[in-house]
Chains A and B, each alone.
Chain A
Amino acid sequence: MSASGIRVALGLPAAGLALAALAVAGLPAFYESFLYLIFSWVALATSWSFLSGYAGYFSFGHGAFFGAGMYTTAALTTMFELPFLATLPLAGALAAALAAGIGAVVFRVRRLRGELFGLLTLAVGFVLATIVLNTPIDGGPGVYLSGVPLPRLLASPTGTLYLLGLGLAVATVGTAYAISHSRLGLGLYAIHDDEDVAELKGVPTLAYKLMAFALSAGIAGVAGGIHAMYVSYVTVGETFSITVPLYVVLMSVLGGARHWLGPAVGATLIASSLYVFTGGQQAVLGRALVALVLILVILLLPEGIVPAALARWRRWRPRPVEVLAPPAVAPAAVAPAGALGCHDVWRAFGGIQALRGVSLSVEPGEILGLVGPNGSGKTTLINVISGYYPADRGRVTLGAETLTARPAHEIARLGVGRTHQIPRPFAHFTALDNVALAATFGPGRVSPRQARAEAREWLAFTGLGRRAAARPDELNLHERKFLELARALAGRPRVILLDEVLSGLNPAEVASAIRLIQQIRERGVAILFVEHLMRAVLELSDRVVVLNEGEVIAAGAPREAMRAPRVVEVYLGKAHVA
């Protein structure tokens, strides 16, 4: 565990115990209620950030899950006379199941990102409110919980609720820390920056989004269960009002939704300032003031208070730039798994037939050059092999494994690495973290810590040893191209698909890239090399396949294949066919 990890692992429970001791020693009931509300908001805002902050899927459905929890507890304690504490896990489970169900439908729609997801989740609250209002769960008049016995954790009821709220808040913030430093958190951050690339690097995006959504909703459900007891009179109007979903967003964004502690800080600030303005016209003024603060924060500190403060702190105490020495030999790779094979692969986009029965194979340690004019289907083939597009017909195999019909992240884990023609680094990750992500989720399945160690070696190997701490927007094109390459290599691929890695590089950079590709081949990796730069194709390729309009028109040794009459015709026109 890192030093900051130990600090959090000790500090968080210590803070919790200190606050608990405060209540045991006897805190006035007013403060217990006030602090309970803050704890409740901390738990809600922090749990919201699991999916919405880390992965960037803003949900306005948190109020619905909170409300589902409230009504679960209200209904079970009054209609079935279940003990209050026993209803809390059920409240959480029901909310989590609801989120998982919604996610299972919604996350399958590929283009459903950002604000559309937000509006759909907003609808969930309205739908749930209508159902509760029209069924015996409520039916209209609201549910009284005043007769439900509250277990006596402390002498006073407010003390008991204070302890429950405190426990939930501490547990939630602890979970937030654990997630943000785990494989799950890393995957969620990557989804936020570029979901397609995350999937292609081996992140099981669907499963991770569902997990984050269910966990986040589950905590909101438990918070709702406790809150039902706190308000002791549950109504549809209050429960499903716009307040919860919107305040949760505000608190998280104010504090910094991508940081584990950000939402807790935002929740404390907003919940306390709301408390100052209670009652009558003052409450109106307070609400307007909070809204004004929100606007100013979004405009001036779009990343939130905690990240902005951390950035200032780091600027104040700059750390020395780390220079990584190039390794003597290239880092370890996974043993070759057999040849990559495409067997009669077809793919159409609407009426355009992009691939018409392409068959080819690449042996371990071989470089196959794939050339052809623009629009001939080279990149489409890479997209089909890596699982970004499904093939309409035909099969892609790696050794004995069939790759077709598998999700992209499984294909990545089986050892297919790729680069993108236009580099697509994760914008909020440093160069090192970009590479470490690929190492974490690649076929090596190494721990995040081991992944960082390997990532350092790959950065040094690709000549980016000085740029480990740089963000992608600080890198030039050549560095971004090499970062793309380092990221593909870090997954320890058995096959690597290089999509025009040389385009836009100057002659010296091309020469160093060619040396790098030769070193990769020496380690037994099968390389599919898409390139327009003919000198590099002829120099590197063992064999060449020429595509035109989705069809293989020539294959064989590089110079012979390029001299085939059909190839000359396609490239230069019929007149030049000698």
Chain B
Amino acid sequence: MPSLTLLGQAVVSGLLAGGIYALLALGLSLSWGLLRLVNLAHFALALLGAYLTYQLGTALHVPPWAAALAIVPAFFLLGLAFHAVFAYFRVSEFGSLLVTFGVAVILESLIQWFWTADYRRYETAYATASARVGPLYVPTLELLACLTAAGLALATWAWLRFTYVGKALRASAEDPVIAAAFGVNHRRQAFLLSGVSAAYAGIAGAFIALISTLAPSQIWAWVGVVFAVVIIGGLANPIGALLAGLLVGVSESVTMAVVAPAWAPLVSFSLLILILILRPGRV
């Protein structure tokens, strides 16, 4: 049994890692739950955002926050364009999985073409900064990512819950025909949501660039865990995605500390399967 300090450190790093999962899960959960689009390209988009942040930072010395300011609106527009294609061809829920897989592969190839398959690391002065709370270390950047995830989740929740657009989106997801009969213009809001979801990928990307080592194949490493987070959290439920992200992050990190690092990938799927069998009505 590891010491209490080690366990506490595991919980802290789990919470912080969970923040990144939640950040990635947010956009995915929105588009799956409200647009019925299973967007595999979301991961590729996030990684592209990370590489762009890296490129701007290392080649042009643009600070990461400025890079994010440019990337996020650009991704918003990309999300709009993406949705235009889906709307034009009336892609089904399953078709969307295949099409976005294709997009993900193309983006992966693109990344590999420009930046090669070698690992890239964005070195910054503050990358290793961390705060000390008692015996525990809290890396500043990861804390910032986690807080951003929490802030975005709360804002998104309030947006869906209290604004007209949010309510209209939820109504359309529930029953598009009835919602349209009540005057909801689903097409316009679907574009907006698609853009927002892509913008979230951009935000996630900026943090990924700062926190982790980059490689094109990273796209596929996230798929399983983040989908587990989305399903555990409940579709189109931002707070659920946040909590599920933290839950999965902590479970993984505690497993690493208590059992062995290599067994960590099993955790999220065991959680997912348990939840699906015990609460099959969640999705």
Q: Mark A90-123, 1 if CB is under 8 A from B, else 0.
A: 0000000000000001000111101110111011
In the assembled complex, B95 has its CB within 8 A of some CB on chain A: yes
CA distance A535 to B260 in the complex (A): 75
CA distance A200 to B273 in the complex (A): 29
Report yes or no: A299 in contact with B105, Cβ–Cβ below 8 A.
Answer: no
Report yes or no: A127 in contact with B266, Cβ–Cβ below 8 A.
Answer: yes
Closest to A300 in B: B89
Q: Which residues does chain B contribute within 8 Å of A129, judged by CB atoms?
A: 265
Report yes or no: B262 in contact with A295, Cβ–Cβ below 8 A.
Answer: no
In the assembled complex, B112 has its CB within 8 A of some CB on chain A: yes
Report yes or no: A130 in contact with B103, Cβ–Cβ below 8 A.
Answer: no
In the assembled complex, A217 has its CB within 8 A of some CB on chain B: no
Nearest CB of B to A332, in Å: 42
In the assembled complex, A516 has its CB within 8 A of some CB on chain B: no
Report yes or no: A291 in contact with B94, Cβ–Cβ below 8 A.
Answer: no
Report yes or no: A111 in contact with B281, Cβ–Cβ below 8 A.
Answer: yes
Closest to B105 in A: A291
Q: Report which of B95, B105, B263, B272 forms a contact with A298, defined as CB distance below 8 A.
A: B95
Report yes or no: B280 in contact with A126, Cβ–Cβ below 8 A.
Answer: no
In the assembled complex, B98 has its CB within 8 A of some CB on chain A: yes
In the assembled complex, B152 has its CB within 8 A of some CB on chain A: no
Q: Contacts A116-B231, A292-B102 known; A123 to B273 CB distance under 8 Å?
A: yes
Q: Which residues does chain B contribute within 8 Å of A343, judged by CB atoms?
A: none
Report yes or no: B262 in contact with A130, Cβ–Cβ below 8 A.
Answer: yes
Closest to A129 in B: B265
CA distance A302 to B99 in the complex (A): 11
In the assembled complex, B220 has its CB within 8 A of some CB on chain A: yes
In the assembled complex, B127 has its CB within 8 A of some CB on chain A: no
Q: Which residues does chain A contribute within 8 Å of B106, judged by CB atoms?
A: 288, 291-292, 295
Report yes or no: B231 in contact with A119, Cβ–Cβ below 8 A.
Answer: yes
CA distance A253 to B272 in the complex (A): 28
Report yes or no: A115 in contact with B262, Cβ–Cβ below 8 A.
Answer: no
Closest to A299 in B: B89
In the assembled complex, B283 has its CB within 8 A of some CB on chain A: yes
Report yes or no: B102 in contact with A118, Cβ–Cβ below 8 A.
Answer: no
Report yes or no: B112 in contact with A284, Cβ–Cβ below 8 A.
Answer: yes
Report yes or no: A109 in contact with B277, Cβ–Cβ below 8 A.
Answer: yes
Closest to B98 in A: A298
In the assembled complex, A564 has its CB within 8 A of some CB on chain B: no
Closest to A119 in B: B227
Nearest CB of B to A240, in Å: 11
CA distance A104 to B15 in the complex (A): 35
Report yes or no: A294 in contact with B109, Cβ–Cβ below 8 A.
Answer: no
In the assembled complex, A287 has its CB within 8 A of some CB on chain B: yes
Nearest CB of B to A473, in Å: 15
Q: Which residues does chain A contribute within 8 Å of B272, judged by CB atoms?
A: 120, 123
In the assembled complex, B228 has its CB within 8 A of some CB on chain A: yes
CA distance A367 to B190 in the complex (A): 51
Report yes or no: A298 in contact with B269, Cβ–Cβ below 8 A.
Answer: no
Report yes or no: B98 in contact with A134, Cβ–Cβ below 8 A.
Answer: no
Q: Binding site of B, secondary structure by majority: helix, strand, loop or mixed?
A: helix
Q: Which residues does chain A contribute within 8 Å of B98, judged by CB atoms?
A: 249-250, 253, 294, 298
Q: Report which of A115, A134, A288 forms a contact with B94, defined as CB distance below 8 A.
A: A115
CA distance A69 to B231 in the complex (A): 30
Q: Which residues does chain A contribute within 8 Å of B220, judged by CB atoms?
A: 242
Q: Which residues does chain B contribute within 8 Å of A295, judged by CB atoms?
A: 99, 102-103, 106
Q: Report which of B103, B105, B113, B269 forms a contact with A127, defined as CB distance below 8 A.
A: B269
Q: Which residues does chain B contribute within 8 Å of A122, judged by CB atoms?
A: 223-224, 227
In the assembled complex, A422 has its CB within 8 A of some CB on chain B: no
Report yes or no: B262 in contact with A110, Cβ–Cβ below 8 A.
Answer: no
Q: Contacts A105-B277, A130-B262, A253-B98 known; A284 to B103 CB distance under 8 Å?
A: no
Q: Contacts A115-B93, A295-B99 known; A287 to B105 CB distance under 8 Å?
A: yes
Report yes or no: A287 in contact with B109, Cβ–Cβ below 8 A.
Answer: yes
Q: Which residues does chain B contribute within 8 Å of A292, judged by CB atoms?
A: 102, 106
Q: Which residues does chain B contribute within 8 Å of A127, judged by CB atoms?
A: 265-266, 269
CA distance A112 to B272 in the complex (A): 13
Within 8 A of A (CB), among B194-237: 220, 223-224, 227-228, 231
Q: Report which of A120, A130, A133, A298 forms a contact with B99, defined as CB distance below 8 A.
A: A298
Closest to A286 in B: B109
In the assembled complex, A360 has its CB within 8 A of some CB on chain B: no
In the assembled complex, A281 has its CB within 8 A of some CB on chain B: yes
CA distance A249 to B97 in the complex (A): 11
Nearest CB of B to A290, in Å: 8
Q: Contacts A110-B280, A111-B280, A294-B102 known; A130 to B95 CB distance under 8 Å?
A: no
Closest 8 CB pairs of A and B: A288-B109, A291-B105, A295-B102, A123-B269, A291-B102, A109-B280, A294-B102, A299-B89
25 A-B pairs with CB atoms under 8 Å apart are A105-B277, A111-B280, A111-B283, A115-B94, A116-B231, A119-B227, A120-B272, A122-B224, A122-B227, A126-B266, A127-B266, A130-B265, A131-B266, A133-B262, A134-B262, A249-B98, A284-B109, A284-B112, A284-B113, A291-B103, A291-B109, A294-B98, A295-B106, A298-B91, A302-B92
